[in-house]
Structure 1
Amino acid sequence: MNIVLLEESEKNKTCWMIRDQRQLAHICTHLKAKVGDTLKIGIKNGPRYVAEVVTIAPKEIQIKALKNVSVPEKHPITLIVALPRPKVLRRLIMDSVTLGVEKIILLHSFRVDKSYWQSPFLKQINDYVTLGLEQAGDTYVPQVECYQRFKPFVEDILPQLIQQKDWAYVAHPYVENTLPKEIVSKNGIIIIGPEGGFIPYEVDLLIKNGCQAIQFGNRILRTETAVSYLLGRLSV
């Protein structure tokens, strides 16, 4: 946790109250904060501050802002990824948010097990987003959307998204085109398939609706590895 992320509603006159048990445990146990110490805090979808600890109680810590600190810039990248296994979803969301993705779309596809959409992990996405923001020192929450029907999304929604971007790549290991070594514009869409990849019909439909299929080597990567690799390349 590199900042403590708070809601604006947690402000009391000139101070903020930290009451979240996870955050309290981190501040007291790991940081061993004392009254007068400073903490890095962020207001969700708002500014970031260096703040002073005013009071410490068993169930709350009161802090006051001392000075503003700049917030890391978002990358104008939309990540579209076939819904992964529930345990992978947590890492994928956290890492994507930490790397500064502006928007995340979770999508169904032929090789996505339908039971994944019933997972309780989906209901915890906001928690994973918060963890990713706290890791990066970011305050601005990315959009997260879910689509359980592949064809309607690709035909009706994706073309509108592509119109707002400079490029749209779908990662597919069985094509000749490779990811460009230098990408001038970061304003784009990257699409990652499920374990086992998109089936040919899905790749063809994505290409038909404005995507370019690219590969980035002869190694087959896991979904979360491919996401981190591509976002790392695009974020430089």
Structure 2
Amino acid sequence: MNLLLVEPGEVADDATVALADRRAEHLRRIVGVTIGQTIRAGIVGGKLGTAEVSSDDGTTMILRLSLTAPASLPLPIELVLAMPRPKVLTRVIETAAAFGVARIDLTNAWRVDKSYLASPRLAHAALAYALRFGAEQGATTHVPPLAIHDRFMGLVDSRWPSATGGTPATRLLAHPGAPPIEQAALTWPLAVAIGPEGGWIQREIDTFVERGFTAVSIGAPILRVEAALSATLGQLLLLQRRTDLGG
């Protein structure tokens, strides 16, 4: 936990918050906070700042918030992700949230095992936990909205009805063997689609291209989804910083 995140409704009128859940336990056992110590804190979707530990009886920890910095800005990337295997789903969601992506769309695809859509890891509580955990790791108050689409074409038709319809205007399709990502004409914000283990089938690739997506690659290695996600977002983050610097 690199940032204590609290919901707006948890904050009392005197700017204190009472924690008696896994956050308090983590602060005690892992971080080792003591009374009077100050840690980084923020409101979900709101400001950043600090929290001072006022008291702790071993069950409930009281912290006083001082939030003066503006809310975290999301990374201007909308992530489209073919439904991962349940055993890696949580890690993938945590990683995307840690990067601070603007939103996440999980979609069915031809090479997605249909049993994945029935995984208990897709329960609202499980996904909400992974999103919050990732945001805490990434030290961002932005917790990305997440949607699940059981039909690939349902997602594509609703988000990008044509090559020029829908947003954002820049749309990337991660695909091994395509031109390097740094050669793409990038504007921000953008969307990036990452396929399942085994990749998108040709019909899905053609559909993406028809809807304005440009196929790009992050290099020669063919990676598992969790590695491909980190590598893709890392390269895009670097390219965005280069753009911001005028490079």
Please report the TM-score for the alignment, with normalisation by the length of structure 1. 0.91
RMSD: 2.0
Q: Distance in 1 between matches of 2:81 and 2:228?
A: 10
What corresponds to 2:242 in structure 1? none
* Pairing 1:167–2:180 present: no
Q: 2:159, 2:166 within 8 Å by CA — same for their partners in 1? A: no
Q: Which deviates more from structure 2 when the two are superposed, residues 104-113 or residues 59-68?
A: 59-68
Deviations 1:109-132 (A, max 9, x none): 010011111111111111011011
Post-superposition offset of 1:235? 1.1
State which of 155, 158, 161 in structure 2 corresponds to 1:156.
158
Gaps of 5+ in 2: 239-247
Letter in 1 for 2:104: I
What corresponds to 1:233 in structure 2? 235
Q: When the two structures are aligned, how many residues end up with a matched partner?
A: 235
Letter in 2 for 1:234: L
* Pairing 1:189–2:187 present: no
What corresponds to 1:22 in structure 2? 22
Q: Distance in 2 between matches of 1:207 and 1:67?
A: 44
Q: Distance in 2 between matches of 1:190 and 1:30?
A: 35
Q: Distance in 2 between matches of 1:102 and 1:5?
A: 18
Q: Which deviates more from structure 2 when the two are superposed, residues 61-70 or residues 44-53?
A: 61-70
Q: 1:79, 1:103 within 8 Å by CA — same for their partners in 2? A: yes
Gaps of 5+ in 1: none
Percent identity, aligned pairs only, is: 31
Deviations 1:147-206 (A, max 9, x none): 11012322332337963223111111244x331257653311100110000111111111
What corresponds to 2:78 in structure 1? 78
After superposition, residues 1-236 of structure 1 pair within 5 angstroms as 1-66=1-66, 68-123=68-123, 124-159=126-161, 163-175=166-178, 177-181=179-183, 185-236=187-238
Q: Go from structure 1 to structure 2 and tell me whether the alpha carbon gap of 1:220 and 1:199 turns closer, same or farther (over 3 Å shift).
A: same
Please report the TM-score for the alignment, with normalisation by the length of structure 2. 0.88
Counterpart secondary structure, 1:98: helix
Counterpart secondary structure, 2:81: strand
Q: 2:18, 2:60 within 8 Å by CA — same for their partners in 1? A: yes
Q: Distance in 1 between matches of 2:165 and 2:131?
A: 24
Letter in 2 for 1:145: A
Letter in 1 for 2:161: P
Letter in 2 for 1:14: D
Q: 1:83, 1:112 within 8 Å by CA — same for their partners in 2? A: yes
Q: Which deviates more from structure 2 when the two are superposed, residues 113-122 or residues 44-53?
A: 44-53
Post-superposition offset of 1:46? 1.0
Q: Go from structure 1 to structure 2 and tell me whether the alpha carbon gap of 1:212 and 1:28 turns closer, same or farther (over 3 Å shift).
A: same
Post-superposition offset of 1:28? 1.1
Q: Which deviates more from structure 2 when the two are superposed, residues 111-120 or residues 12-21?
A: 12-21
